[in-house]
Amino acid sequence: MSDKAVISAEFFPPRDIAAQEKLVRSAKSLMGLDLSYVSVTFGAGGSTRSGTVGAVDLLQNLGFDVAPHLSCIGSTKAEIAEILDGYQAKGIKRLVALRGDLPSGMGGDVGELRYASDLVAFIREHSGDAFRVEVAAYPEMHPQALSFQEDLEHFVFKVKQGADAAITQYFYNANAYFDFVDRVQKMGVDVPIIPGIMPIMNSSQLIRFSNMCGAEIPRWIKLRLADFGDDRASIRAFGLDVVTKLSQDLIDGGAPGLHFYTLNGSETTMKIVERLSR
Ligand code: FAD
């Protein structure tokens, strides 16, 4: 791994005390990896807003540089401004700015900021340069996009609204990432694009997530997972090999860092990072 490659980790807000204790244990064990920052997800429509703030406090108290995720869909500018001011007052220096998805039952009320690009522009208008802003990128195309080219153009526009970096949706085909980076760089993007890494720990959960977010699981991986059936230990060992190789290929090919979707665990992320040659 080059000296410049950064490692970051993503958590979601815990729903009860036991989950909170697990999050703290995981975050503490990941401290040894010298993470550049940790991020905390935000529920669509603000449904877990207080959960996000609680987890941000917890992680900040452990000494991490924390990047709360913030999604804009379904919110007013005043609501977003209040959240931004609250984070600034806490000394938060980074944000992951997203559109989010409307929860079912909210009809078509998208709120005052329709796309993540509107949110990035609003953050810059309201908070200036108080935050380093990361946005989402989709090397295999956002599932609702009408065409790949149009999705790339929307991504480029979003970055130009003032994003400092991007984190990708997860993928298992390194070429999808390299092709995406190459194409958006040719369209004028010069910010770091950090691959999002999803460890493989549970086959049915991974297949469900991937169907929802449009991430492709290559056929050979699906077939191997199917062969393992309920043998969790073999799935984990296989997943560790696949995702470690992917991570190494990404770093060797010039990715500026890796962002781990930890699912609030630490073991798999630790093992992958420890296996990478630096
Ligand atoms: P956008 O960049 O706004 O894009 C959404 C869609 O709109 C794309 O298809 C794009 O092509 C299209 N589009 C953009 N601009 C225009 C335009 N001007 N005209 C027409 N179409 C346009 N979700 C959460 O709820 N909470 C989280 O914490 C969270 N964290 C995430 C972290 C990462 C790293 C990633 C990759 C995703 C995360 N998501 C999260 C999921 C994300 O909210 C969804 O994928 C959502 O559907 C899109 O969000 P976005 O910010 O990528 O949207």
pLDDT, position 97: 98
- For 188-242, the pLDDT digits (tens) are 999 999 999 999 998 998 999 899 898 999 999 999 999 999 999 999 999 999 9
Helix (H, G, I), strand (E, B) or coil at 27: helix
Residue 71 CB less than 6 A away from ligand 1: yes
| Overall residue count recorded for the chain in this entry | 278
Pocket flag, ligand 1, residue 145 (CB < 6 Å)? yes
What is the phi-psi region of residue 205: left when phi exceeds 0, alpha when psi lies from -120 to 50, beta otherwise?
alpha
The confidence band for 156, taking pLDDT boundaries of 50, 70 and 90, is very high
In a 10 Å sphere around its CB, with 0-12 CB exposed, 13-18 middle and 19+ buried, how is residue 179 labelled? middle
Return the CATH number of 6-275, one of 2.60.40.10, 3.20.20.220, 3.30.360.10, 3.10.310.30. Answer: 3.20.20.220
Average pLDDT, integer, range 96-102? 93
In this prediction, residue 109 carries a pLDDT of: 78
Ligand 1 pocket, mutate which of 53, 99, 152 (most atoms under 8 A from CB) = 99
Ligand 1 in contact with 98 (CB < 6 A)?
Answer: yes
pLDDT at residue 58 tops 50? yes
Cα separation, 210 vs 212, in Å, equals 5
250/277 Cα distance (integer angstroms)? 12
Which of left, alpha, beta for 265 (phi over 0: left; psi -120 to 50: alpha)? Answer: beta
- What is the DSSP secondary structure assignment for residue 257, as one 8-state letter? E
Residue nearest ligand 1's atom 15 by CA:
154
In single-letter form, the type of residue at position 246 comes to: L
Which residue has a Cα nearest atom 36 of ligand 1? 169
Encode pLDDT of 241-269 as tens digits.
Answer: 999 999 999 999 999 999 999 999 999 99
